[in-house]
Amino acid sequence: MTAPSGRGAADARGRGGGDARGRGAADARGRGGGDTQGRGGGDTQGRGGADARGRGVANLRLGRAAERVAASHLETRGWRVLGRNVRVGRGELDLIVRRGSVLAFVEVKARRTRGCGAPEDAVSPAKQHQVARLAELWLAPRPWALGGVTDVRFDIVAVDLTTFPAQVRHLPAAFTAD
């Protein structure tokens, strides 16, 4: 089946498409697209899509690698990982961990350079509020998760890649839900 005016047709799920010049069409959710030069491909909310240098993909890989390092770091110190990259509503909790009677929601930040400051400096008050709200939403249908818990807190794990080997800093109770 051909699409009118030389534009590629999307499949039944709204994926694919694009035009004769190699520019991709977004899918039904507004994602995808991009051109033959490797630009674009993000959704209508400004997310995703790497440019020709692959910055979006590289940042995603960096974030996921930092989360693995952070989880390993915490596990070696006696924490049990209850969840990684837990989707809650429209947000995501990086790590949910527990050790004894402490339940912690952990925001993981990594930096390759010092140009933007230390990794932990990237956890803005807005991000702190978001993490606290997502934790509340995660706990609401799971009251059993609080069994034996006397302390719920918000930690940050900073992964500093400006040194070799990478430096990992765990900042317990880095912020509150206020």
* Domain finish residue from 53, 74, 89: 53
Residues of the chain with pLDDT > 70: what percent?
A: 69
* Domain finish residue from 53, 68, 91: 53
Shared domain check, 151 and 102:
yes
Residue-wise pLDDT tens digits, 79-109 = 999 999 999 999 999 999 999 999 999 999 9
Shared domain check, 74 and 24:
no
Residue-wise pLDDT tens digits, 102-114 = 999 999 999 998 8
User: Is the pLDDT at 17 greater than 80, yes or no?
Assistant: no
84: which residues sit within 8 A by CB, 6+ positions away? 67, 71, 94, 95
Mean residue pLDDT of the chain comes to 79
pLDDT at residue number 55 = 65
Shared domain check, 65 and 44:
no
Q: What is the Cα–Cα distance from 96 to 92, expressed in whole angstroms? A: 11
Terminal alpha carbon distance of the chain? 57
pLDDT at residue number 150 = 96
Shared domain check, 126 and 47:
no
Q: What is the Cα–Cα distance from 151 to 174, expressed in whole angstroms? A: 14
Number of domains in the chain: 2
Shared domain check, 117 and 106:
yes
pLDDT at residue number 60 = 86
Q: Which domain holds residue 160?
A: 55-175
Shared domain check, 75 and 30:
no
User: Is the pLDDT at 168 greater than 70, yes or no?
Assistant: yes
Q: What is the Cα–Cα distance from 103 to 99, expressed in whole angstroms? A: 7
Residue-wise pLDDT tens digits, 112-155 = 988 889 999 999 999 999 999 999 999 999 999 999 999 999 99
Shared domain check, 60 and 18:
no
Q: What 3-state class would DSSP assign to 91?
A: strand
Shared domain check, 45 and 61:
no
Question: What b/e string do you get for 23-60 counting C-beta neighbours within 10 Å, with b at 16 or more?
Answer: bbbbbeeebbbbeeeeebbbeeeeebbbeeeeeeeeee
Shared domain check, 161 and 85:
yes
Shared domain check, 75 and 5:
no
Band of pLDDT at residue 161, cut at 50, 70 and 90? confident
Contacts 24+ apart (CB under 8 A), 135-142: 135/93, 135/105, 135/177, 136/177, 137/88, 137/89, 138/86, 138/88, 138/93, 138/96, 138/105
pLDDT at residue number 120 = 95
Shared domain check, 60 and 33:
no
pTM of the model: 0.69
Backbone angles phi, psi at 58, to 5 degrees: -65, -40
Shared domain check, 78 and 41:
no
In the chain, the DSSP E strands lie at 7-10, 16-19, 24-26, 32-34, 80-88, 91-99, 102-111, 151-160, 167-175
CATH number at 76 reads 3.40.1350.10
